[in-house]
Amino acid sequence: MLYREAGQFKASYAADQQIFPIRQDRVGVLLLLAVAFVVVPMFASEYWLKGILIQFLVFSLAALGLNILTGYAGQLSLGSAAFMAVGAFASYNFMLRIDGMPLLLAFALGGLMAALVGIAFGLPSLRIKGFYLAVATLAAQFFIVWILTKVSWFSNDSSSGVITAQDMVIFGYKFASPQAKYLLVLAIVAIMALMAKNMARSSVGRAWMAVRDMDVAAEVIGIRIMYSKLLAFAVSSFYCGVAGALYAYAYLGTVEPEGFNLDLSFKILFMIIIGGVGSIMGSFLGAAFIVLLPIFLDVLVQDVFTGMLPPSIASNLQLMVFGGLIIFFLIVEPHGLARLWQIAKEKLRLWPFPH
Amino acid sequence: MSGRQIGDVILDLQHISLRFGGVKALTDISFDVREHEVRAIIGPNGAGKSSMLNVINGVYHPQEGRITFRGEERRKMEPHMAAMQGISRTFQNIALFKGMTVLDNVMTGRITKMKATFIEQALFFGRAHREEMEHRKKVEEVIDFLEIQHIRKTPVGRLPYGLQKRVELARALAAEPSMLLLDEPMAGMNVEEKQDMCRFILDVNDQFGTTIVLIEHDMGVVMDISDRVVVLDYGKKIGDGTPDEVRSNEEVIRAYLGTGH
């Protein structure tokens, strides 16, 4: 009953083409942002902020990056973690080697370096598609981790390849408390998500989707396939790169190249598959699912079933349930959680009188 | 037909030959298309009709021959450049973007006219915003024209076949082409849908003055709506002229039309 668009007339194309054309959605998103920016930092514990929410936001951003490439432009990639590594190590080196480098600029430059690397490894996409392209991006995954380990210059000659992120200081303010870090990450992620949404609803996003759905027709319409694909690689890698920098600076503090291994790439890929391929919101839902569910299951097993299960089962139960849920969701809705949400909204519009 | 005036030659094809390895798809074909006319290409299956359209909009590059469009001879052309020059087309098998709504599909038709960079679009500010609104307006005119207002927010994958064909035409028209290539626009349609489609094609030709090159198997339709017809068989041209001339051409009757009983 609450979710009705009856009576909301649109008198201009601008009104019809805003990001959230339905008033309830607008209010909902504003409320969500208000909660995230104001309520959460006031009440969330340090563990929640540091361990869970920052991690969730960083992974959302990485998933968003991969979703631009795979979900919108239709190019399969297994190199997201490597692009995150480029972002993290590039930001670190910009901060290290240039005096007075502003932090945000270092993040942006880290993202740009990742974008350049992304374009280079995106070149095979001009000739190959699908699984074969995924294998080509796998090369990026292994090569980048290898070179970051091998060339010690990247980690400022630290013996193990580990880098320790510098303090985060913007205009003299030091982002040291979990609240401050959380708010910084949240602001960056919110702005970049908005920009991704804008691209998705403009002609660049339509060009990506056209290339994804039917590339021959896209070319005949006048879309430059090469430009569109490489732009998707660049933008996607930029997002992953910034996510990598935040992963190093705001979440972990110290990272090593091996931390950005294939497992992490797969994790991000699972996020978009479960969350919804080709959906901005899906990236967030998928990240929430992958990041939060294991923690939730852990707590559940420890607190509720303590003593009831032998420890060998209890420690594996979480993994079993997690795997089972992934399969369940993929069978019920192969288009991901975002699609489920959309169906729910469509139903809700007519509820409780669907006829 | 009302005020429509057939003009000068807009597209001239001379001695076009196209081979795929040893297979000769087109052999020494010459014909021209005049401005504002409806030009049909007919022939049996495998005659090279679709290949001919692919040559015109740059998907295939013929090994021999000269193509002159608007007085300019063209060497090698990529499809997106043909689109820039005002050549749009539809496909024999519907080639819509299945995951997108009708509105988005038609909006892609205007992509060559959008100038905002992706950064402006990411910020959705200034030129990017203005362009979206201006082009939306144009697109809505096309949507009105083809009477598909009621489905504009529907994903095209959910639409029935006949409507999908119409959406594809809308996408091609959104580019405001000077020349429209239609590859079997009425294949698989029932009589009513065919009549609708004929009406739209004639309206486009009449109101916008768009030159139309059309491949079609329904002889009734072809003879009714086209000004001139070219007939292909096994990659060779066997007839060219007005519908009446083609209908009485011995070779065309033997190869394609068959004799009446």
| Average pLDDT over chain A, rounded to an integer | 90
Candidates A195, A198, A207; nearest CB to B111 = A207
A41-54 average pLDDT score: 89
In a domain, residue B91? The reply is no
Give the pLDDT score at A172: 87
Structural domain includes residue B118:
yes
Domain boundary among B126, B142, B176: B176
- Residue contacts between A and B (CB atoms, under 8 Å): 113
Could you tell me if residue B204 is inside a domain?
Answer: yes
pLDDT at A262: 95
CA-CA distance, B246 to A58, in Å (whole number)? 68
User: Do residues B207 and B162 share a domain?
Assistant: no
Position A313 pLDDT exceeds 90: no
pLDDT for residue B1 is more than 50: no
Across the interface, which of A12, A213, A231 has its CB nearest the CB of B118? A231
Q: Which positions in chain B touch A13 (Cβ < 8 Å)?
A: 132-133, 136-137, 140
Cβ-count burial A202-217 (b if 16+ within 10 Å, e if not): bbbbbbbbbbbbbbeb
Identify the band that residue B29 occupies on the pLDDT scale cut at 50, 70 and 90: very high
Chain A residues touching residue B59 (CB < 8 angstroms): 216, 219-220
| pLDDT score for A312 | 77
CB–CB contact B99 A206 (8 Å): no
Per-residue pLDDT for B170 more than 70?
yes
Integer Cα distance of A63 and A239 in angstroms: 9
Q: Which of B153, B176, B199 is where one domain is finished?
A: B176
Measured between CA atoms, the residue of chain B closest to residue A279 is B99
Q: What's the pLDDT tens digit per position in A265-276?
A: 999 999 999 999
To test the contact with chain A by mutation, choose from B53, B54, B56, B80 the residue with the greatest count of A C-beta atoms within 10 A, namely B80
Mean pLDDT of B193-218: 93
Tell me chain A's radius of gyration from C-alpha atoms: 21
Do B209 and B246 belong to one domain? Answer: yes
Average pLDDT, chain B: 90
Q: Does B94 touch chain A (CB under 8 A)?
A: no
User: What's the pLDDT at B260?
Assistant: 57
Chain A residues with CB under 8 Å of a chain B CB are 12-14, 16-17, 195-196, 198-199, 201-207, 209-210, 212-214, 216-225, 231, 235, 278
For the domain that residue B57 is a member of, what is the CATH number?
3.40.50.300
d(CA B239, CA B27): 14
The total of structural domains in chain B comes to: 2
Q: Do B133 and A219 touch (CB under 8 A)?
A: no
Residue B93 domain flag: no
Same structural domain, B183 and B242? yes
Contact check, Cβ <8 Å, B112/A221: yes
Q: Is the pLDDT of residue A42 over 90?
A: no
Q: Is B128 on the interface with A (CB under 8 A)?
A: yes
Q: Tell me if B92 is assigned to some domain.
A: no
> First vs last Cα of chain A: how many Å apart?
14
Of the candidates A13, A204, A278, the beta carbon closest to that of B133 is on A13
Instruction: Report yes or no: B171 at the A interface, CB cutoff 8 Å.
Output: yes
Q: What residue type is A127 in one-letter code?
A: R
| Strand B38-42 versus strand B23-34 pairing type | unpaired
**A65 pLDDT higher than 90:** yes
* Residue A297, min C-alpha distance to chain B (Å): 35
Interval A298-321 mean pLDDT: 77
CB contact under 8 A, A222 and B133: no
Domain region containing B130:
98-176
Q: What percent of chain A has pLDDT over 90?
A: 63
pLDDT at B15: 94
Q: Which residue has the tokens 């991690």?
A: A55
Whether B83 and A222 lie within 8 Å, measured CB to CB: yes
Q: Do residue B170 and residue B183 come from a single domain?
A: no
Assess whether B168 and B56 both reside in one domain.
Answer: no
Q: Which two tokens stand for residue B106?
A: 């038609």
What's the rounded mean pLDDT across residues A256-263?
94
Q: Are residues B191 and B82 in the same domain?
A: yes
DSSP state at residue A78:
S
Whether B59 is covered by a domain: the verdict is: yes
- Note the pLDDT tens digit of each residue in A139-186: 999 999 999 999 989 988 887 789 999 999 888 889 989 999 999 999
Among B113, B145, B176, where does a domain finish?
B176
CB neighbour class for A44 (10 Å; exposed up to 12, middle 13-18, buried from 19): middle
Tell me the H-state helices in chain B.
Answer: 49-56, 79-84, 102-108, 118-123, 127-145, 161-174, 191-203, 219-225, 243-247, 250-252
Residue pLDDT, tens place only, A206-242 = 999 999 999 889 999 999 999 999 999 999 999 999 9
- Residues B1 and B72 reside in one and the same domain: yes
Task: Tell me which residue in B80, B97, B114 faces A213 most closely, judged by beta carbons.
Answer: B97
Task: Compare A303 and B193 and report the one with higher pLDDT.
Answer: B193
Q: Answer yes or no: is B138 within a domain.
A: yes
The 3-state DSSP class for residue A45 equals coil
Q: Is the CB of B80 less than 8 angstroms away from the CB of A219?
A: yes
A350 pLDDT tier (thresholds 50, 70, 90): confident
For residue A249, the model assigns a pLDDT of 96
Q: How confident is the model at residue B242 (pLDDT cuts 50, 70, 90)?
A: very high
Per domain, the residue ranges of chain A are 38-260
**Looking at this predicted complex, what is its ipTM?**
0.89
B82 and B186 within one domain? yes
Give B85-143 pLDDT, tens digit per residue: 999 999 988 899 998 999 999 999 999 888 889 999 998 888 899 999 999 999 999 99
Do B108 and A210 make contact, defined as CB atoms within 8 angstroms? yes
Same domain, B64 and B109: no
For residue B54, being part of any structural domain is answered with: yes
